[in-house]
Amino acid sequence: MITENLPILLVVIPLLAAPLCVLLRQPTLVWGFATLVSWMVFAISIQLLILVLQDGTISYAIGDWAPPWGIEYRIDPASAFMQLVVAGIGAVSMVFAAKSVPHEIPERRIYLFYTMYLLCLTGLLGIVVTGDAFNLFVFLEISSLSSYVLISLGHDRRALTAAFQYLIMGTLGATFILIGVGLLYMVTGTLNIADLSGRLPEPAPRTSLVAFAFLTVGTSLKLALFPLHLWLPNAYTFAPSMVTAFLAATATKVSVYILLRFFFTVFGVDVAFFDLPVGDILLPLAIVAVFAASTVAIFQENVKRLLAYSSVAQIGYMILGISFATVNGLTAGIVHIFNHALIKGGLFMALGSVFLRLGTTQIDAMAGLGRQMPLTMAAFVAGGLSLVGIPLTSGFISKWYLVTGALEKGWWLVAILVVLGSLLAVIYVWRVIEAAYFRPAPAGAAQVKEAPLAMLAATWVLIGANLYFGIDSTLTVGTASRAAEVLLGLEI
């Protein structure tokens, strides 16, 4: 009974929990409740992944309305993998929130903060599990609206303008997606994603090509593909630490997932990559993203902003893998979604701890921090190395598949550019490491303590997972390559 209804529970539990938070009000109580919900969702997501890996794709008809008329929740290996990422990061960030949120959010707003967080979680999970194109838009807006609120709660007043900027860009992107979905409906008369793919006429008429264009641009806005990334650096920089960690690890990744869905499931690899020159457009954009964003990251003085730009660059790697449209390329893209979620989640959490103690994340203020906060900074170093793609970290696995994918296509130049990109990552990561370990603390700086246990634990869970999956990649690469095969239509 419960097992059958897991797909809907995954979404409904946090959705119903959100208003309950408003009723509870008392900050600690709300935190405990939200944490409980997050971990329950995480448990469900693990269960779902196991089910999908065992028995294949799960289809759940909402209200017993059979698809394609009713709304269908559909969990295939790709979505099972994504919902695990989202739920897992959500659960870990709640532990991190225990100390971080009371420090950064005024007490009277904390219950609202967690309400918004649970809504955001609902939206992100909904996007991943739904099999209905319009439903996807709705969930996208649920997650987006709540994330605008979350970002605006940052301590700096610039958080407000950042949230507003994101609201404008995000709404434009979401509306583009809405147009695309509408046009698809005009062509096919269905909104079910699986059904759509079968009903799109061949060769694609102009309407569906226009739909394709709207969907691509809209999603690219949401996933911050260069040059549509302008909202991201400010949003990540000024959002509360926990929000940055959570959103950086999940929101853009889920958008990448949407892109995958539209490209491969709806339109199919033939239309997207052979009839249309999508690969030829995404590939240069991705490479420019890697180089431009990494270069900008090198010159940042605020580490949070530095990592935000690094995110833009890393999204470039994901898109690069997708643009290959091969099993290895897609595997690289999907695995990097997972790995990067762990890396950035961990890094932003480490930074959150720094912010808690120092009250700033400026690189100069972090001088000599390696001695004062050894565990936090060690986590940062490990995450940074993974970002670069040093062997034995999960970042290496992604890069490995990416380069293999490029070599497989005979694109030597791309392979070389990928590693050159890592070199830029070395530089910006090294700047922080050099400050923290090889420069003395600035004169007159107060002695600070190591971060609280809860924050350290959360950070190290992500960093540890990131190291673990760098050593044993059976689970990640296995699931990702299955997802890639499903998306490419090689396995039903």
Partner 1 sequence: MNGAAIGAWDICLPVLLPMAATVLIGLTGRWPNLREAVTLITSGVLVYLVVGLIQPVFEGARPDILLFEMMPGLSIRFTVEPLGALFAGVASFLWIITSIYSIGYMRGHHEKNQTRFYICFAIAIGSAMGVALAGNMLTLFVFYEVLTFSTYPLVTHAGTDEARLGGRTYLGVLVFTSICLQLPAVIWTWYLAGTLDFTPGGILEGTASPELLGALFVLYVFGIGKAAVMPFHRWLPAAMVAPTPVSALLHAVAVVKAGVFTVLKITYFIFGLELASTLATGEFLLYAAAATILIASLVALRQDNLKRRLAYSTVSQLSYIVLAAMLANELAMVGGGMHIAMHAFGKITLFFCAGAILVAAHKTEVSQLNGIGRRMPWTMGAFAVGSISMIGVPPTAGFVSKWYILIGAFESQQFIAVLVIVASTLLNAAYLLPIVYVAFFKKPDDEPQPNSHRGSIGAAARAPHGEAPLSVVLALVATAAGTIILFLFPGSVLTLAQQIVASGG
Partner 2 sequence: MELVQGLYNYWIAMILMMAGFYVVISRGNLIKKIVGLNIFQTSVFLLYISMGAVEGGTAPILEEGLTRFSNPLPHVLILTAIVVGVATTALGLALIVRINEAYGTVEEEEIHAQDEPA
Q: Where on the chain is the footprint of partner 1 (CB under 8 A)?
A: 388, 390-392, 397, 400, 403-404, 407-408, 415-416, 419-420, 422-423, 426, 430, 437-438, 470-474, 477
- The DSSP code for 108 is G
**Residue length of the chain:** 492
Q: Name which position in 25, 157, 199, 371 contacts partner 2 (CB under 8 A).
A: 157
Contact status: 112 vs partner 2 (CB under 8 A) = no
User: Are the C-beta atoms of 240 and 114 separated by less than 8 Å?
Assistant: no
Q: Which stretch binds partner 2 (CB under 8 A): 131-139, 219-227, 417-425, 444-452?
A: 131-139
Tell me which DSSP letter residue 202 carries: S
Q: Residue 236 binds which entry of partner 1, partner 2, none, with Cβ cut-offs from 5 to 8 Å by kind?
A: none
H or E stretch covering 35: helix 27-55
Total residues contacting partner 2 by CB under 8 A comes to 26
DSSP three-state, residue 139 = helix
134 near partner 2 (CB under 8 A): yes
- Residue 452 touches which member of partner 2, partner 1, none, C-beta under 5-8 Å by kind: none
Q: Is 212 in the site for partner 2 (CB under 8 A)?
A: no
Nearer of residues 141 and 275 to partner 2, judged by Cβ:
141
C-beta contacts of 405-410 below 8 A and 24+ residues apart: 405/321, 405/324, 405/326, 405/328, 405/329, 405/331, 405/332, 406/324, 406/329, 408/326, 408/328, 409/324, 409/326, 409/329
**148 counts as binding partner 2 under rule CB under 8 A:** yes
Of 46, 103, 112, 141, the one binding partner 2 (CB under 8 A) is: 141
Q: Which of partner 1, partner 2, none sits in contact with 474, Cβ below 5 to 8 A by type?
A: partner 1
Which of 431, 407, 435, 433 has its CA nearest to residue 419? 407
Select from partner 2, partner 1, none the partner in contact with residue 182, using the beta carbon and a kind-dependent cut-off of 5 to 8 Å. Answer: partner 2
468 near partner 2, rule: CB under 8 A: no
Q: Degrees (nearest 5) of the Cα angle 35, 126, 59?
A: 120
**Phi, psi for residue 388 in degrees, rounded to 5:** -70, -35
- Residue 152 interacts with partner 2 (CB under 8 A)? yes
Closest CA to 244 of 159, 172, 139: 159
Q: Where are the beta strands (DSSP E) in 11-149?
A: 58-61, 72-75
In angstroms, what is the minimal distance from the CB of 388 to partner 1? 8
* 274 versus 412: smaller Cβ distance to partner 1: 412
167 scored as a contact of partner 2 (CB under 8 A) = yes
Q: Considering the rule CB under 8 A, would residue 172 count as an interface residue with partner 2? A: yes
User: Using CB distances below 5 to 8 A depending on partner kind, what does residue 163 bind out of partner 2, partner 1, none?
Assistant: partner 2
Q: Is the peptide bond before 227 cis (omega within 30 degrees of 0)?
A: yes
Distances in Å between the Cα of 134 and the Cα atoms of 8, 180, 255, 392, 435 are: 17, 10, 15, 41, 48
Q: Report the candidate in 290, 451, 449 with the shortest Cα–Cα distance to residue 376.
A: 451
Give the residue among 12, 8, 33 at the shortest CA–CA distance from 22.
33
Of 112, 167, 121, residue with least CA distance to 142: 121
User: Toward partner 1, which CB reaches closer, 116 or 377?
Assistant: 377
CB 253 within 8 A of CB 85: yes
Task: Tell me which DSSP letter residue 359 carries.
Answer: S
Query: Which among partner 1, partner 2, none contacts residue 141 (Cβ within 5 to 8 A by kind)?
Result: partner 2
Give the list of residues 6+ apart from residue 1 with CB closer than 8 angstroms, or none: none
Nearest to 162 by CA among 244, 246, 243, 232: 232
User: Least distance to partner 1 from the beta carbon of 473, Å?
Assistant: 5
Closest separation in Å from C-beta 430 to partner 2: 28
- What's the alpha-carbon Rg for the chain, to the nearest Å? 21
Toward partner 2, which CB reaches closer, 152 or 294? 152
Tokens 């396995």 sit on residue = 491
Largest CA-CA distance found in the chain, in angstroms, rounded:
70
- 392 touches which of partner 1, partner 2, none (CB within 5 to 8 A by kind)? partner 1
Q: How far is the CB of 154 from partner 2 (least distance, A)?
A: 11
At closest approach, how far in Å is the CB of 412 from partner 1?
9
Q: Which of 8, 57, 59, 182 binds partner 2 (CB under 8 A)?
A: 182
Binder of partner 2 out of 18, 30, 125, 163 (CB under 8 A): 163
Rounded to a whole number of angstroms, the minimum distance from the CB of residue 317 to partner 1 is: 15
For 331, the enclosing helix (H) or strand (E) is: helix 327-358
Among residues 167 and 286, whose Cβ is nearest to partner 2? Answer: 167
Minimum distance between the CB of residue 343 and partner 1, rounded to whole angstroms? Answer: 17
Does 22 participate in binding partner 2 (rule CB under 8 A)? Answer: no
149 binds, among partner 1, partner 2, none (CB under 5 to 8 A by kind): partner 2
Smallest gap from Cβ 5 to partner 2, in A, equals: 23
Residues that bind partner 2 (CB under 8 A): 134, 137-138, 141, 145, 148-149, 152, 157-158, 160-161, 163-164, 167-168, 171-172, 174-175, 178-179, 182, 185-186, 191
